Homo-oligomer: A and B are copies of this chain.
Amino acid sequence: MRLEIDNSDIPVLCRACEARHGGICGALDPAELLRLGKMTSRQRYPARTILLTPGEHTEYCSNILNGVVKVSKLLPDGRQQVVELQFAPDFLGHPFAAESNVFIETASAVELCSFPRHMLKSMTAESAALQNRLHRQVLRQLDQARDWMMTLGQKTAAEKVASFLIMLAGHLHPSEADRSKSFDLTLSRMDIADFLGLTTETVSRQLTALRKAGVIHIDKARHVSIINPQGLRAAAAQ
């Protein structure tokens, strides 16, 4: 049996999918993929689209195909904490609960592959590998959340901003070597501040300090190049 015969069983949508192997779909065999593919729709959202608000019900889950998604929590008085940034090929949504307890918004232009939650439910019941993959992603998310708790609770403003740049560079350019990374921030100073537990002014001042120290270069406020990765790591206390 030739490979392309196998491949022909895979939905066209999935064959071209950048996220297929890394995301939860990597745990599915062609038959399962076909079943899921029939219920799936691919959608584009511009930056700053609200995808879900706390208390809102949804019957859909998604895979992130590209772009950055911002997950945050709100206090009654309006204070906001960004609790996670999600990148392709992350799974987005709650496999068991219909009601969201977080605020989910696109931070850049985003493409999602969405499918009904009940599909996920029935497929996890059949495929231990799928549930395993979902389980592992949540463990990874928990670990990241804990790392961020360390940043939020113990680090100084300068260390927080440096840590943020390192984290973002790692997600946007996972394969590249350390030196001279260059990327778009996507998030506004306000978003970064809400992620780091700082104010926009403090974020701006710390970015300026890193720039003046020759560690990074900033172009038009949103585009960052890391000139001295080692210096940045030192500034992040890592």
Question: A147 contacts the other chain (Cβ, under 8 Å)?
Answer: yes
Q: At the interface, yes or no: A139 with Cβ under 8 Å from chain B?
A: yes
A138 to B17, CA, bound (A): 28
Interface size bracket, A side = 35 or more
B80 touches A197 (CB 8 A): no
Contact between chains at B76 and A136 (CB < 8 Å) = no
B83–A150 contact, CB under 8 A?
yes
Stretch in A124-132, A182-190, A209-217, A223-231 with 4+ CB within 8 Å of B:
A124-132
| Contact, CB under 8 Å: B154 / A80 | yes
Say whether A20 faces chain B, with CB atoms less than 8 Å apart.
no
Query: Does A237 make an interface contact (CB < 8 A)?
Result: yes
Cβ A138 vs Cβ B142 within 8 A: yes
Partner of A149, one of B83, B135, B136, B143: B83
CB distance from A76 to the nearest CB of B (A): 7
In the complex, besides A131-B131, A141-B142, A153-B194, 7 extra interface pairs with C-beta distance below 8 angstroms are: A77-B237, A101-B143, A131-B132, A131-B135, A134-B135, A138-B139, A153-B197
